[in-house]
Amino acid sequence: MDYQKLADLLFPDVTETPADLEARFPARQLPEGAKVTRFAPSPTGFVHFGGLFPVLVGERLAHQSGGVFYLRIEDTDARREVPGAAESLITTLEKYGIHFDEGAILGSDGKVTDTGIYGPYKQSVRGSIYHVYAKQLVRDGLAYPCFSTDEELEELANTDKKAEIKNMDWENQAAARKQAMLAQRDFTMEQVEAELAAGHAFVLRILADGDGEKKVVNTDLIRGKIEMPVNDEDFVLLKSDGIPTYHFAHAVDDHLMGTTHVIRGEEWLPSLPKHLQLFNYLHFRLPKYMHISQIMRLDENGNKKKLSKRDMGANLNDYARMGYCADAVVEYVLTLLNSNYEEWRTANPALPYTDFPFNIKKMSSSGCLFDFNKLNDVSKNVLSRMSADRIYDETCVWAEDNDPELYAHLTADPDYAKSIFAIGRGGKKPRKDFTVFGDVKPYLDFFYDDLFTVKDALPEGTDMADVAAAIAAFKDTYNEADDTNAWFDKVKAIAESLGYAADMKAYKADPAAFKGSVADISAFLRLAVTGRQNAPDLYTVMHLLGRERTFARLDSFLG
Ligand code: GLU
């Protein structure tokens, strides 16, 4: 067979050579050790939470090393493509603080466009590039046209052996199919010409010369040395419409775009021998591979299950709806990815996560376990560390879509709202009142007169005469100019005057000697002013409400 002639026959329009492409996409000039990573999603309209793992690993490895992190849209499977999915994917990742240096970005018209010289970064428009390499493989005798699809081959195999088919087991069927396919390896030029003349479409298959009994070895970045059988399957490179399969596009794109580290889901691990063979056939330098395990969750019976599409928390967009801030989700993923992240965070509460020295060696090769309790824990800490301004902004963004009433209140007087958020914030041990943004309203609604209600009751057996007397005395002596100590001294004085212990130690030493303690007096005042037993610092609350509203609440509490 004259392979050059076959190549020209199959790809008459391809005039560029691989050398032309190498010149058009020159090797990147980067400092020693700089890593080039990419996120290469197939946009299906659903951004899986699990996608954040390769995204964050790729982003950290690239940016920590002074390299490049780029986005490639793998949209070669038209059946899975959802209009607008690429755009919403980019927008979602942006919310999580994921920025790409290069690749597909959102243009000012809201549509995906390119930045960078290694584009196009959308596979559906790279057709001519793949064909250059496809032609080379045919010319080298490493790929051949097959005029039957997998389905047709199956049928072919079955009709040929109609008699035996009933008793044929799956393995034999596969063998027969393979035989029918292999027969096309040896098509003569005349046979190929006849097929083309008859208008038959072909798929391009690799000519797998591997011996399946032999092993191929690769060192995965987290799994270590992996041995797998050499590929011996003539897998498809180009589908009958000329569109590449994932395998072929992966090799061509990651080579031309200069990817040094391929970080992807473990579902691609079984295909690795195919990729190793292809890189070899194409004389491409092999990137380093990291296959990240599926995210697991525990089911009702405590068994590990894949976090599947239908599970709560599988869709990245669920988190915003549930009221988690993006920072918390990212921080949670980092705690799962690097075993020493939490320790680092405790030691460095104020640093951005990008200061954490991310380390591949600290990654576990077994699947991460998704756990809402842990996420909640992380989220509480993240929200507690935020400045008042920031949590105000973030809550407003959430409330605008999810709680219009809260949104209206917060935005009516931003300074007032920010002062509320500022209570107990900024110190070494900040208050941890919120896990999700949905916790904000029940925490601060009492600051707004129209939302204020008395939610809790006084403890049973409370002497209402004492409550009335405490409130009256408090009003008599209240001075807004008092500092917090002077304010509390007055509360203590009221306690004493009513037969309640002013000093907690004295009370604890002999509770029977008192009607109660200063804590009870504070509780009366707190319940009257905030409507609840637990509330932020009462002195500050009273200052924010102002004398008039504080007194009005004290009065109305007594009825
Ligand atoms: N498009 C592939 C996927 O979404 C990408 C795998 C890879 O990163 O190479 O699974």
Question: In this predicted model, what pLDDT tens digit does every residue of 347-377 receive, in sequence order?
Answer: 999 899 999 999 999 998 887 889 999 999 9
CA–CA separation, 492 and 518 (whole Å): 6
Q: 200 is written with which tokens?
A: 């038959």
∠ CA 125-130-132, rounded to 5°? 125
3-state secondary structure of 111: coil
Distance separating alpha carbons of residues 328 and 325, to the nearest angstrom? 5
Cα atoms in the Cβ-side hemisphere of radius 13 Å centred on 80: 13
Work out whether strand 261-265 and strand 288-292 pair parallel, antiparallel, or are unpaired: parallel
Q: Which of 261, 323, 258 shows the shortest CA–CA distance to 61?
A: 261
Q: Are 367 and 293 in contact (CB under 8 A)?
A: yes
Index of the ligand 1 atom closest to the CA of residue 264: 8
Q: In percent, how much of the chain has pLDDT > 70?
A: 95
41 ligand 1 Cβ < 6 A: yes
Query: Residue 105: which H helix or E strand, with range?
Result: strand 102-106
Q: Ligand 1: which of 246, 272, 292 to mutate, judged by most atoms within 8 Å of the beta carbon?
A: 246
250 ligand 1 Cβ < 6 A: yes
Residue 165: predicted pLDDT: 47
Atom of ligand 1 nearest to the CA of 263: 8
Contact 517, 501 (CB under 8 A): yes
Q: Which two tokens stand for residue 149?
A: 């699809």
Whole-number pLDDT of residue 157: 57
225 CA to centre of ligand 1 in angstroms: 22
Per residue in 428-460, pLDDT (tens digit) is 899 999 999 999 999 999 999 999 999 999 988
Position in ligand 1 atom list of the atom nearest CA 267: 10
Of 504, 546, 506, which is closest to residue 522 (Cα–Cα)?
Answer: 504
Tell me the CA–centroid distance for residue 45 and ligand 1, in Å: 15
Nearest C-alpha to atom 5 of ligand 1 is from which residue?
40
Residue 478 vs residues 488, 494, 495, 524, 550: alpha-carbon distances, Å: 10, 11, 14, 15, 10
Least confidently predicted of 169-173, 201-205, 320-324, 551-555: 169-173
> Residue 163 pLDDT > 50, yes or no?
no
Query: How many Å lie between the centroid of ligand 1 and the Cα of residue 264?
Result: 6
Whether the predicted pLDDT of 203 surpasses 90? yes
Look up residue 294 and give its DSSP letter: P
**66-99 residue pLDDT tens:** 999 999 999 988 666 678 888 989 999 999 999 9
Evaluate whether 265 touches 294 at the Cβ level (below 8 Å).
yes
Q: Is the CB of 42 under 6 A from ligand 1?
A: yes
Q: What integer is the mean pLDDT of 500-521?
A: 95
